């Protein structure tokens, strides 16, 4: 960005950046809710310009991650996701110099805010290039789809940022509410348009099979389409729902939320798992749409989280028919079950004959002293509501790599069933481990948990 100018993907503002000084000045030259429809720069120039600044953009983001987190690969001994990928252990958010978690927990929100002591990793996480935004896929996802479909989801302007060991296992197992007897029906494969039929014919009914076909069919979308307003070098056939919700779960593909303007206020969003949507009542971290059908229909119409039906039309919008397509897709999504949790009984609580003393103590704290259960009640560990955690009590508004960190507002209470399978955590993926989430809530709720209580809580979360 040095000495350069970037016209944002959403045409919201023009940024003149001076990365050498670490200062980014944002000047609003033209206020608009719309993305530019007519691109005047020749495509080859856009590619050359953005490729030239890619290294600097990614360095800025990786520096931020290093500053915030301990990114080392440290698996928790003996703890794995459902198909065996190691779960990372330990608190990864770094403390301000001279601080301990105990000291921090003994301070009031005002004091933490005044002294600037809120750990940086607890601030909203920006997109790898927040001013530009758009969908970004981890490299292992890009490789797998290229191999199966010869479809390339590489962006020429940026890469995914978080290290693979903090991401969900891939491909994830698939459990069906209708056929629990089968266990994982993915057979270890990534479900795509090339193999869905062979994998599911004879297991699903024809309606569900057609729903699944649509979920794995790519359609032109924001950064992946045939126009000059794309971020793939070659014209792209587009993106499928399961490119992000891989195997009905998540591969941590990221994006910006569509509901907010201007660009710097938009939240980064981590793809949520679709496991257990059948028992949920609100969809989207902020929008609180009331059905899976609504979510399915709107994602494609409004340019995938950019909330912009104008630009979606230019790129080749796919209008799904509610009665026969949306409904079928939603019906398949409703079959996606949580992974088995063998230690839980029919009430979703620990079976004392199977759980460890540590896990049982963790359950006590979860429903007792820590009051997690108020918002995350058993059996599904969500109250199907939104809550405002008011994290802005702890920090002053500030720009972080093009992201304006202010109040998050009310956010969906995500379910905690199968939670060890879906790092990173919170709607923007700002927390890398379950230990991080416990330190976060310890401060947000003012709990003053002991070291042992924190350990017990993590043990319980891993059993869910």
The site for ligand HEC (CB under 6 A) is made up of 135, 239, 241, 243-245, 253, 255, 257, 269, 271-272, 274, 277, 283-287, 292, 295-296, 299-300, 304, 329, 370-372, 374-376, 387, 389, 408, 411-414, 416, 419, 422, 425-427, 434, 437-438, 441, 445, 457
Q: How far is the CB of 223 from ligand HEC (least distance, A)?
A: 9
| Least distance (Å) between residue 297 CB and ligand HEC | 8
Q: Which is nearer to ligand HEC, 46 or 222 (CB)?
A: 222
Residues in the chain: 464
Smallest gap from Cβ 348 to ligand HEC, in A, equals: 15
Q: Mention every residue, 6+ apart, whose C-beta is less than 8 A from residue 109.
A: 393, 394, 446
Of 1 and 447, CB closest to ligand HEC: 447
Give 26 or 136: the residue with its C-beta nearer to ligand HEC: 136
From CA 209, how far away is CA 196, in angstroms rounded? Answer: 8
- By beta-carbon proximity to ligand HEC, the closer residue of 239 and 311 is 239
Residue 13 vs 223, nearer CB to ligand HEC: 223
Q: How far apart are CA 461 and CA 42, in angstroms?
A: 51
Contact 271, 252 (CB under 8 A): yes
Give the nearest distance from C-beta 115 to ligand HEC in angstroms.
24
Minimum CB distance to ligand HEC, residue 374 (Å): 5
Residue 125 CB, shortest distance to ligand HEC, in Å, is 10
Q: 319 vs 374, which CB is nearer to ligand HEC? A: 374
Helix 451-463 to helix 357-367 angle, to the nearest 10 degrees? 100
| In contact, 266 and 255? CB cutoff 8 Å | no
For 286, list phi and psi in degrees, rounded to 5.
-125, -30
Q: Shortest distance, CB of residue 4 to ligand HEC, whole angstroms?
A: 27
C-beta closer to ligand HEC: residue 26 or 240:
240
Report residue 226 CA to chain centroid gap: 26
* Distance of closest approach, residue 280 Cβ to ligand HEC, in angstroms: 6
Torsional sign, CA 375, 298, 266, 63: positive
Give 60 or 249: the residue with its C-beta nearer to ligand HEC. Answer: 249
């Amino acid at each position: 960005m040095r000495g350069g100018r970037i016209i944002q993907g959403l045409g919201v503002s023009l940024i003149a950046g001076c990365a050498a000084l670490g200062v980014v000045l944002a000047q609003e030259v033209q206020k608009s809710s719309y993305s530019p429809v007519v691109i005047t720069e020749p495509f080859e120039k856009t590619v050359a310009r953005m490729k030239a600044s890619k290294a600097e953009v990614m360095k800025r983001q990786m520096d931020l991650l290093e500053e915030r987190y301990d990114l080392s690969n440290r698996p928790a001994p003996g703890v794995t996701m459902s198909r065996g990928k190691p779960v990372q252990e330990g608190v990864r958010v770094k403390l301000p110099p001279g601080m301990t978690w105990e000291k921090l927990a003994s301070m009031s929100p005002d004091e933490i805010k005044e002294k600037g002591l809120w750990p940086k990793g607890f601030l909203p996480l920006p997109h790898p290039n927040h001013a530009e935004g758009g969908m970004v896929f981890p490299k292992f996802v890009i490789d797998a789809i290229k191999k199966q479909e010869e479809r390339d989801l590489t962006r020429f302007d940026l890469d995914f940022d978080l290290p693979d060991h903090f991401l969900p296992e891939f491909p994830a197992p698939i459990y069906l509410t209708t056929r629990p007897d089968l266990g994982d029906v993915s057979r270890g494969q990534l479900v795509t348009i090339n193999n869905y039929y062979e994998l599911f014919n004879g297991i699903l009914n024809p309606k569900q099979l057609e729903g699944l076909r649509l979920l794995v069919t790519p359609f032109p979308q924001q950064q992946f389409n045939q126009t000059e307003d794309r971020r793939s070098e070659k014209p792209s056939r587009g993106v499928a729902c399961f490119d992000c919700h891989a195997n009905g779960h998540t591969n941590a593909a990221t994006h910006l939320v569509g509901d907010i303007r201007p660009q710097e206020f938009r939240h980064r969003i981590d793809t949520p798992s679709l496991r257990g949507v059948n028992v949920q009542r609100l969809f989207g971290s902020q929008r609180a749409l009331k059905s899976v059908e609504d979510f399915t229909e709107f994602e494609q119409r409004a340019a995938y989280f950019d909330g912009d039906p104008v630009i979606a039309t230019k790129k080749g919008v796919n209008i799904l028919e509610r009665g026969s397509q949306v409904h079928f897709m939603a019906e398949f999504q409703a079959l996606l079950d949580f992974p088995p949790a063998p230690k839980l009984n029919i009430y979703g609580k620990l079976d004392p004959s199977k759980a460890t003393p540590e896990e049982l103590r963790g359950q006590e704290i979860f429903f007792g002293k820590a009051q997690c259960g108020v918002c995350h009640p058993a059996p599904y560990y969500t109250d199907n509501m939104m809550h405002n955690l008011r994290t802005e009590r702890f920090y002053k508004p500030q720009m972080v790599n093009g992201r304006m960190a202010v109040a998050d507002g009310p956010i969906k209470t995500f379910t905690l069933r199968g939670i060890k399978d879906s790092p990173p955590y919170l709607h923007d993926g700002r927390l890398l481990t379950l230990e991080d989430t416990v330190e976060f809530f310890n401060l947000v709720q003012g709990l003053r948990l002991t070291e042992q209580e924190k350990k017990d809580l993590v043990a319980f979360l891993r059993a869910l």
